[in-house]
Structure 1
Amino acid sequence: MKEKRFSELLAPAGNFEKLKTALYFGADAVYLGGKDFSLRSFADNFTADEMKRAVETAHAAGKKVYVTANIFARNADFSALSDYFRFLSEIGADAALVTDAGVFAAARAAAPALKLHLSTQANTTNKYAAKFWYGEGAERVVLARELSVAEISEIRDFCPELQLEAFVHGAMCISYSGRCLLSNYLAGRDSNRGECVQACRWKYEVRAEGASCPVEEDARGTYIFNSKDLNLIGHLKELSEAGVDSFKIEGRMKSAYYLATVVNAYRRAFDRLAGKPSAFSDADIFGELKKCAHRDFTTAYALGENEKTVNYADSQTKGTCDFVAEVKEGGECSALVEMRNRFRVGETLEILSPTDTCNQKFVVDSLCDAEGNPVEDAKLVQQTLRIGCPYLLRAGDILRRPVADKK
């Protein structure tokens, strides 16, 4: 067995609120993008001031911030890129993620003190490439999703000083580690410049002149390019023993509820592996991941070759719980919440929290608006409400409703 290394739980942050959600539910670090040079142009992303505040917020909590600058750059990008890397160094970003060799060199020249992580877009699938990037000054390589645990172990043995980061959960691409041309071809939006329209998630048909023919795969559907979602929560121990340092969750475009659910589950899985007391069994933790929207799960290539990575039946499965409210001000008998989906007095809600109250259920027996007027039906979008609850709620907790209990 290899020497035990640190295990970092790394979460996406599409905006400042999601950053706070990730940190609250147990992420050790977050990755985020600015308004330029990031591969998620349609996330809210961060202005310069927001990014500075994000770094300060994370550091105050003892957490880290990695900033993505992982586009495939063109000549015209470089003067602004150099200024950007100097800015990241000045605000104390813990690292920048880059893909392109020219961008890597520009970052080294503009901001020598800024640590660099090589993005998964660089397709690091072998130990020789990993060794090369370490020699160039990369602190960490984000491995391609196509690698098995055994291959990761070989890379660790060959590059013992290099930090290794691996995706463990979330959406996957039909192309090698996201290097897709389909979006550009069909919609004129370059996925390698952050503008992917996720054309792989569309339904497809065969069209002849004047006629169209549905495409079916064993009568299961037409989603012939639609990858399943990666889920390696049951294999964290093997990945850790293989030498993975940072365990990455995909999803800067996902909702805050998705982020809270997934980060909470992985935090509890890591705590169990560390021998910390937990009321959650392995089955409980896996069940948590089904409570938010997801596609069918796959271990992809972590355990070896796998042909069952495409979700032919549909694009996405609705989770087993609805996100109905976020706690804004906690309390022992009642709390101030912000409505996110309609719910009513008499319904049973469940608590999502990083604390021991997680998964506790209670019946809504009292509800009133900000002026103290009784409310029977919370149907006004983002209305502030006071809700009675027999459990201690904290700001940042989430209230969800099991779908089976929905009236």
Structure 2
Amino acid sequence: MTSSVIVAGVGMIPFSKPGASEPYPVMAARAIRAALDNAGVAYDKVQQAYAGYVYGDSTAGQRGLYEVGMTGIPVVNVNNNCSTGSSALYLARQAVASGAVECALAFGFEQMTPGALGSVFEDRPSPFERFDAVTAELIDVPGIPFALRYFGGAGLAHMQEFGTGIETFARIRAKASRHAANNPLALFRKVVTEEEVLASPAIWPGVMTRLMACPPTCGAAAALLVSEAFARRHGLDTTVRIRAQAMTTDTPAAFDARDMREVVGFSMTRNAAAQVYEAAGIGPQDIGVVELHDCFAHNELITYEALGLCPVGGAEKFVADGDNTYGGKVVTNPSGGLLSKGHPLGATGLAQCTELVEQLRGQAGARQVEGARLALQHNLGLGGACVVTLYERT
């Protein structure tokens, strides 16, 4: 990077269930306006925009952005599965850091339908063919939707190697609900206990209950990134900058390791985190707050290890000791995470960004992590792409 990148403004709208949301252009425009207002910047100052969404037609990004203004700027539409929002953020950050522009907008949205994720195009090869083939060889659970099969299988691999109990995944889900209770933008704000999580309907007996999976969600979020010179020239808030960022894709280990944890991106996460730590000259012990990709409680657990928050095999103790919440080593998903806040695919990465910027600004209210100076974001998309971003309070 050749220029410091400031997160000048963030915004998101309350997440909602499918069928209860506004149309995607309305959601996108609301989130964009919120980020612009938060920054105190007029839309005509934006020089490039990156729009993230997964389930939508081509140029849907323009459709949402045009509700805010039509200034003729370049608009790039981004689709990187569940890491789409942070992929848009990654491109906007690159544009500013390189000096190509001084002010770039990243926004994401999703108008989802009820039920498990599925393929839209059935008349052509699936990008998950190799993932499905390896998964079929490693586990035999017919009738379970593909996402549950992948991540439940990863959790099962951890259980089999380290003796991790299903109760640990329930503790993670219960923790998410306690955090979300203080987030007015979260979809589910009801606190649930470990016992209630375990008593919810089993979708994979002995491995996963319904409450351990994130719900399909509609919503939108946005972030405005600017150069330090632009921020000073316009008198903007320079409290938060992106100190380091990395995007990775799968390595041969995803298929060759014969391990479901690798199938769902363990190495992608580990490699991205290592690049970020090296670039910033820090280690995971320096992080005070993390928003990570908890699409399932199982993925949160294995991500602790991939990010280096605890040793490999040490995640169950990490949870049991309360090191993943307030009063512990690192507060994970103070927003409630995907499990409670919700997971509108294209918006998730930018919603994570919003939470961490508010944390570092000291604006998170009852969710505030005291003394946070460095915040880490992890956003994962199967197929695959992983983005890890380190934010710093200046």
* TM bin (shorter chain): under 0.3
Q: Which is richer in helix?
A: 2
Normalising by structure 1, report the TM-score.
0.25
Q: Which is richer in strand?
A: 1
Higher relative contact order (CA 8 A, sep 6+): 2
Bigger Rg over Cα: 1
